[in-house]
Amino acid sequence: MTLDIVNAQNEKTGSIEVRDELFGGRVKGDLIWQSVVRENASNHQGTHATKTRAMVSGTGKKPYKQKGTGRAQVGEARNPLWRHGGTVFGPQPRSYDYAIPRKQERGALREALAAKFQAGEVTVVDGFGELAKTKAAAEMLGRFGAKGPALVVDVKPAEGLTRAVRNIPGTRCLPSGRLTARDVMLAKRIIATTAAVERLQEVLGS
């Protein structure tokens, strides 16, 4: 697969070969799904909480004698059967994070990139120049046809590029080493440098 390389003005300056054995085959959607679900779970705050009978306010005194009243036996007003009592088996703060094999994570990223390459949603640029203003970054993304969520990828993004992009709604700037399948699938347009594409091919092909 051969992709055009363009400059910041969206003018063709060359081409780059993308390895078919990595990005040219049938896309395995199940790998992508597993990686995206795992990352979504890791981002789940898990701060939900309910009060048990030990946490709710109220006395622990027995409200009335055990026998002879004709009422159900009860030990305290905080029991779950009574109004204002504790909650039984309610949600408590916990982590939803879990791990999948690193090889599986890399495979998911490879499949996600393959889907974007095959759909023609990746623009390869030779560099971003000295971007320091959000307006200039927005104009550049517009020239690349980035309408909606976009992902800017470089091996090590310059600080000025990161600052210029972060104020554009729906646009993210990431180093190639931190890229995940979820990041790729959320973007409608990916703008990556030649160095980033080469680095990704090197890592995913090893």
Quote the pLDDT of residue 97: 95
Domain that holds residue 72: 48-95
User: What's the start-to-end Cα distance of the chain, in Å?
Assistant: 19
In terms of domains, do 141 and 70 share one? no
In terms of domains, do 22 and 84 share one? no
Over residues 160-206, the pLDDT tens digits come to 888 889 889 989 999 999 999 999 999 999 999 999 999 999 999 87
Give the domain-ending residue among 63, 80, 95. Answer: 95
In terms of domains, do 195 and 108 share one? yes
In terms of domains, do 40 and 140 share one? yes
Quote the pLDDT of residue 1: 84
Closest CA to 113 of 33, 47, 182: 182
User: 149: which residues sit within 8 A by CB, 6+ positions away?
Assistant: 170, 171, 186, 187, 188, 189
Asked if residues 197 and 16 have their Cβ atoms less than 8 Å apart, the reply is yes
In terms of domains, do 89 and 110 share one? no
In terms of domains, do 35 and 75 share one? no
In terms of domains, do 108 and 16 share one? yes
In terms of domains, do 118 and 175 share one? yes
Quote the pLDDT of residue 25: 86
Quote the pLDDT of residue 146: 85
pTM for the model stands at 0.83
Over residues 1-58, the pLDDT tens digits come to 888 899 888 888 899 998 888 898 899 999 999 999 999 999 999 999 999 999 999 9
Distance of CA 108 to the CA centre of its chain: 13
Over residues 85-141, the pLDDT tens digits come to 999 999 999 999 999 999 999 999 999 999 999 999 999 998 887 777 889 889 988
Domains held by the chain: number: 2
